[in-house]
Amino acid sequence: MRRNAIELAAVATAAVPGLTPTAVSSAPDDPADFDSALLLDSEGKRWRVRSPRHAEASARLETEFLVLRAFAPAIRAELPFLMPTVAGSVRLGSLSTFVYSHLGGSTRSVEELTAGPDALAREIGVALAAIHDLPRAIVSNADLPSYTPNEFRQRRLNELDQAATTGKIPPSLLLRWEHALEDVSLWRFNPSVVHGDLHEDNLLVEGSRVTAVTGWTDLRIGDPADDFAWLVASNEQDFVNAVLDAYTAGRRDKPDKHLLRRAALSAEFALAQYLVKGIAAGDATMVAEAEEMLSTLASDIAEHGGQPISVEPLPSASPATVPGAAAPVAVEPAAGAGAGPGLRAADDGVPAAVPPVTVFPVPAVQPAVHVTPIPAPAPATPPARTEGGAGGGSSTGTANGTKTGAPDAQGGPDDTSTAALTIVDANKN
Whether 38 is covered by a domain: the verdict is yes
Residues 254 and 292 occupy one common structural domain = yes
Residues 178 and 215 occupy one common structural domain = yes
181 phi and psi angles, rounded to 5 deg: -70, -25
Query: If you average pLDDT over residues 271-292, what whole number do you get?
Result: 94
Residues 14 and 82 occupy one common structural domain = yes
Average pLDDT, the chain: 79
- Per the model's pLDDT, the better-predicted residue between 394 and 169 turns out to be 169
Encode pLDDT of 400-409 as tens digits. 333 333 333 3
Query: If you average pLDDT over residues 146-165, what whole number do you get?
Result: 96
Q: Which residue in 350, 341, 354 sits closest to 306, CA to CA?
A: 354
Handedness of CA 394, 397, 398, 401 (dihedral sign): positive
Residues 161 and 14 occupy one common structural domain = no
Q: How confident is the model at residue 343 (pLDDT cuts 50, 70, 90)?
A: very low
Domain holding 294, by residue range, is: 110-304
Encode pLDDT of 349-384 as tens digits. 445 554 444 455 555 444 434 444 555 555 444 444
Residues 130 and 203 occupy one common structural domain = yes
pLDDT at 235: 84
pLDDT at 373: 53
CATH of the domain at 130: 3.90.1200.10
Whether 339 is covered by a domain: the verdict is no
Residues 85 and 118 occupy one common structural domain = no
Q: Which residue in 217, 185, 189 sits closest to 201, CA to CA?
A: 217
Whether 364 is covered by a domain: the verdict is no
Show which of 277, 304, 331 is a domain's final residue.
Answer: 304
pLDDT at 141: 85
Treating both helix axes as pointing N-terminal to C-terminal, what angle do 118-132 and 237-250 enclose, rounded to 10 degrees? 50
Encode pLDDT of 86-120 as tens digits. 999 999 888 999 999 889 898 999 999 999 999 99
Whether 58 is covered by a domain: the verdict is yes
Q: Is the pLDDT of residue 77 over 50?
A: yes
Encode pLDDT of 256-279 as tens digits. 999 999 999 999 999 999 999 999
Domain count for the chain, please give it: 2
Residues 250 and 117 occupy one common structural domain = yes
Q: What single string gives the DSSP state of each residue in 108-140?
A: --HHHHHTS-HHHHHHHHHHHHHHHTS-THHHH
Whether 349 is covered by a domain: the verdict is no
Q: How confident is the model at residue 394 (pLDDT cuts 50, 70, 90)?
A: very low
pLDDT at 351: 57
Residues 131 and 236 occupy one common structural domain = yes
- What is the reported pTM? 0.72
Show which of 276, 304, 332 is a domain's final residue.
Answer: 304
- Alpha helices for 165-218 (secondary structure H): 171-182
Whether 254 is covered by a domain: the verdict is yes
Residues 98 and 115 occupy one common structural domain = no
Whether 392 is covered by a domain: the verdict is yes
Question: Cα–Cα distances in Å, from 410 out to 16, 86, 382?
Answer: 16, 13, 22
**Measured in whole angstroms, how far is the alpha carbon of residue 389 from the centre of its chain?**
35
Show which of 246, 279, 304 is a domain's final residue.
Answer: 304
Cα(130)–Cα(246) distance, integer angstroms: 11
Residues 208 and 280 occupy one common structural domain = yes
pLDDT at 362: 56
pLDDT at 20: 92
Query: If you average pLDDT over residues 133-157, what whole number do you get?
Result: 93
Q: Is the pLDDT of residue 305 over 60?
A: yes
The DSSP element (H or E) to which 188 belongs, if any, is: none
Residue 237 backbone zone (phi > 0: left; psi -120 to 50: alpha; other: beta) = alpha
pLDDT at 375: 54
pLDDT at 352: 52
Residues 130 and 46 occupy one common structural domain = no
Residue 167 backbone zone (phi > 0: left; psi -120 to 50: alpha; other: beta) = left
Query: If you average pLDDT over residues 321-348, what whole number do you get?
Result: 39
**Range of lowest pLDDT (8-12, 267-271, 301-305, 320-324):** 320-324
Residues 78 and 126 occupy one common structural domain = no
- Per the model's pLDDT, the better-predicted residue between 177 and 378 turns out to be 177
CATH of the domain at 10: 3.30.200.20
Whether 45 is covered by a domain: the verdict is yes
